[in-house]
A and B are shown apart, each in its own frame.
Chain A
Amino acid sequence: MSEAAAAKQPINPVEPFLRADRMPHIWCPGCGIGTTVNCFARALVESKLPLDKVVVVSGIGCTGRVAGYMRLDSFHTTHGRAIPFATGLKLADPNLTVVVYSGDGDLIAIGGNHFIHAARRNVDLKVICVNNFIYGMTGGQVGPTTPVGALATTSPYGCFERPFNLPYLAESSGAVYVARWTAFHVRHVARSMVEVFNKKGFCFIEIIAPCPTLYQRRNRLGDGLDTMRYYKQKSVIKNGASTKDLELSLQGEIIVGKFVDVERPTLKQTMDLQLQQALGSRYAGWGGR
């Protein structure tokens, strides 16, 4: 059965996009990562991208395992380094659609330097960050997105560090597309993914998602379902909001929406332009222009 035909089956339209032979997955009941993967698969169906040219690159962590479950060319790299791996991949073959799919700890803590530089240079990458406020794979440690006051194994008396506001970080570093949703906003997530698949440049989607096992439970915030209720009640859609105003707090309001959608030449385009200006016809180019 072709992928297109399989995708039309009403029972499980995302199955052709998953490595079914790798199920069951490692994610806990109530975890939000699987929800985002479902959105991702639906966005792939809708975007009609040639799937042989779509590559998923992940780092390390619970979200880092996404690469391994997608029936696409997929690279599970080292901790924090999905973005520079993806940068090499994309520049060496500009015909690929390269999606970086990883968690907040991987992309923003250990990988933070690569995140800001790839955004600055506008590398044509679609960066999907599942933000669960915690290090899940290693057992629930505090991270650079943990809200002030939240408990974690390494902040047993409550987090006392100001967390990153990820959309603000992304925009100020140079991202051309910035959106934030929660795992409750499945249609919005899928729509944003379709938009970034059709956009050139450094695109960033933050998806706030529950980690019932380690974040919600330790902070007595209920289970995955309770968290969905929280997302539903406390999130406010404000498309175009200033990213400065998007700081998060423990169980506070969550402003979601698409905040940035601008055009700027990609690294490949600025590189080609500069080298053509400098070298003229002697510029040999690379991977098509």
Chain B
Amino acid sequence: MKVEAKAVLTGTHFLDGDQACCEGALAAGANFAAGYPITPSTEIVERFASRIPTVGGLFLQMEDELASSIAILGAAWAGAKAFTVTSGPGFSLMMEHIGYAAMTETPCVFVDVQRGGPSTGLPTLPGQGDMMQARWGSHGDYEIIALCPNSPQECFDLMIDAFNLSEQYRTPVMFMMDECVGHMTEKVVIPAADDIKIFPRRYTSLPPGEYQPFRPGPDAIPEMVKAGEGYRIHVTGLTHDEQGYPAMDWRSQGKLVKRLVEKLRRNAGNIVRYEERNAEDAEVIVVAYGITSRVALRALQMAREEGIKAGLHRPIVVWPFPEQRIRELAERVKAFVVVEMNYGQMVYEVERCAAERARALLVPHGGGTVHEPEEILEAIREAAR
């Protein structure tokens, strides 16, 4: 590969999702990545390792995913924009540090290129079985943001959004690709650097002495500093007060955890994002995300040809889940058809929001390949009856 010294490769390219994800990170200003090789995500860090020395930054291949997932947090506290990349087994190993990042409000991005699981599963083939793990995988109580691209173009675009959201809300952001999207090659248009909006880190303007590292601003989010600037901060994964000091009592726990949850719940309306097709008149709404949403489009076309009014709802931001929109749709559709490459994960969210006002039919798949459009069509037919 020819090594380009620019962070933003403005122009039209033919890239796979993994490569586009890397370019999105670079365009977002990422200058630090740590990772451990794992199929099917490795191409992202291979490209980053090749690109970053001329752009300015560094890649570290760590000894395991435990190390990768906390090296990025150390780097973030030294001022870097940092991310790590993995797939199922590695994602499982990273869970503790997703919680640590949430607790310490460290901006960072975790990329999971999903493959068939559980365990070693299908290393080279797709799955969508990590969706609930992305939401609930670390112990304790927290909210999370997760994005789910369905094309190489979105791998680029949404990676920038992932970094921006992590900075804006000071939270780890999950980037939930799948093997198909990661290895699918398509046109990717990279805009001019000036046209890319970057949310800057929320550095404080207060001097040491007045600054408290975990005192929330009006939007419940605290300002940040880097190590080495004289603020003498303390950062801990223990329950802590606004000064960052451990506070081992139920009141401090309630105050902190409530804020960590509220800062995202209160802003869910601003974070949620979805795409809909033919939803206006739809009696049946297919809910699908990632590669599955593209297979679903074919089934929707077939359904329309049969005269069934079917539409698509595709969560782009999967966490927070588009609760409000699913509630609205549930008021007027006959049923939802939830298509996912697992045996039922996001379908629980659809059922919860539909609250029995509309049925939710699951079209499951164990992974390893994508659904057949006919399987989805069959469910659409049943939903329309």
- CB proximity of A44 to chain B, nearest CB, Å: 13
Q: Which residues of A contact B246 (CB under 8 A)?
A: 68, 76
Q: For chain B, what secondary structure do more than half of its interface residues adopt (helix, strand, loop), or is it mixed?
A: mixed
Instruction: Decide if A88 touches B53 in the complex (CB within 8 Å).
Output: no
- C-alpha gap A53/B227 in the complex (Å): 8
Enumerate chain B residues within 8 angstroms of A187, measured Cβ to Cβ: none
What residue of chain A has the Cβ atom nearest to residue B5's Cβ? A282
* Per-position binary interface string of chain A over residues 266-284, scored 1 when its CB falls under 8 Å from any chain B CB and 0 otherwise: 0000010001000100111
Judge if A22 is at the interface, Cβ distance under 8 Å. Answer: yes
Give the residues in chain A near B228, CB-CB below 8 Å.
Answer: 52-53, 55, 73, 93, 95-96
Contact: B237 with A78, CB < 8 Å? yes
Query: Is A93 a contact partner of B78 (Cβ separation < 8 A)?
Result: yes
Chain B residue, CB-CB nearest to A83: B67
The segment from B8-16, B68-76, B333-341 found at the interface with A is B68-76
Instruction: Indicate whether B63 reaches chain A with its CB closer than 8 angstroms.
Output: yes
CB closest residue in chain B, given A54: B228
B3 and A85 contacting across the interface, CB-CB below 8 Å: no
Residue of A nearest to B234 (CB): A74
Q: Known contacts being A76-B237, A87-B60, is A52 close to B96, with CB within 8 Å? A: no
> Complex Cα distance A114/B71, Å?
11
Q: Interface size on B (CB < 8 Å)?
A: 48
A240-269 vs B, CB cutoff 8 Å, 1 = contact: the mask equals 000000000000000000000000000000
Residues of A within 8 A of B97 (CB): 78, 81
Docked-complex contact B78 and A286, CB < 8 angstroms: no
Choose one: B79, B96, B231, B236; the contact of A92 (CB below 8 Å): B79
CB pair A284–B53 under 8 Å, yes or no, is yes
Closest to B57 in A: A286
Taken together as a complex, chains A and B put the C-alpha atoms of A275 and B55 apart, in Å, by 12
**Which A residues are CB-close (under 8 A) to B75?**
88-89, 91-92
Chain A neighbourhood of B211, CB < 8 A: none
List chain B residues, Cβ under 8 A from A81: 66-67, 70, 97
Q: A75 to chain B: which residues have CB within 8 Å?
A: 74, 77, 227, 234-236
- Chain B residues near A (Cβ < 8 Å): 3, 5, 31-32, 34, 53-58, 60, 62-64, 66-68, 70-80, 82, 96-97, 100, 226-238, 245-246
